[in-house]
Amino acid sequence: MSTKHPIKTIDSISAKNSIRNMSPKTIAAVVLVALMGVLWARVLLRSKAGPASANAATTTAVEEVQQQNPKSQIQIQAIPLATVPGRHDTIAADFFKADRSSASGGNQERGNQRILDELGKAVVLEAIIRNAQGRAEKAYLNGAVVIVGSTLKVQMQNDTYIIRVEAIEPAAVRLGWRDRTFKLKMPE
């Protein structure tokens, strides 16, 4: 009770089957390489050397225009531009800085203010901790106890901002981000 499996011979494998098994990307790559080879062969085997010749009608039209307009002497004179001291002698925005966002000037200021407003909403001041003398010493922000000089990471949307604690006052905490500061007050 043995079942016989048909044995495929090399004769049954044809080129058609191998092309059917190739991926479309491979076929496209082979066609493009062949086309590139044909184009390079045309360029390298061209027997006619020299620049391309223009159409005779185009050449005569250019000659007619040149005959109608006699060559004139064009004179270029430099005119000094007005300069305002303190305004035109300094670069307002350095586009070669690593921080490219600062080169946009006023838009950057509005963007920074918007970020500060959002940071003020994202950071929650829950408590101010006083020492034995009653002086504000620590604060409880976003579930972490911080002191002056501490940093806090704040995640907003897809960005992470690092803010630092500048000062802890009896009823507020002053925080800093970059060169800006903002104040969080204790809720009443």
What is the average pLDDT value for the chain, to the nearest integer?
77
* Of residues 135, 129, 139, 128, the one with CA closest to residue 163: 139
Q: How confident is the model at residue 57 (pLDDT cuts 50, 70, 90)?
A: low
Q: How confident is the model at residue 37 (pLDDT cuts 50, 70, 90)?
A: very high
Residues 6+ positions from 101 with CB-CB distance below 8 Å: 108, 111
CA atoms of 184 and 167, how far apart (whole Å) = 11
Average pLDDT value for residue range 12-26: 72
Average pLDDT value for residue range 132-146: 89
Order of strands, sheet of 125-130, starting from the edge strand that comes earlier in the sequence: 125-130, 136-141, 144-146
Top mean-pLDDT range of 78-92, 108-122, 168-182: 168-182
Could you tell me which residue, 134 or 33, shows the higher pLDDT? 33
> Lowest mean pLDDT: which of 27-41, 50-64, 150-164?
50-64
Q: Output the pTM of the full model.
A: 0.42
Q: Say what the pLDDT of residue 61 is.
A: 66
Q: How confident is the model at residue 30 (pLDDT cuts 50, 70, 90)?
A: very high
Q: Say what the pLDDT of residue 115 is.
A: 85
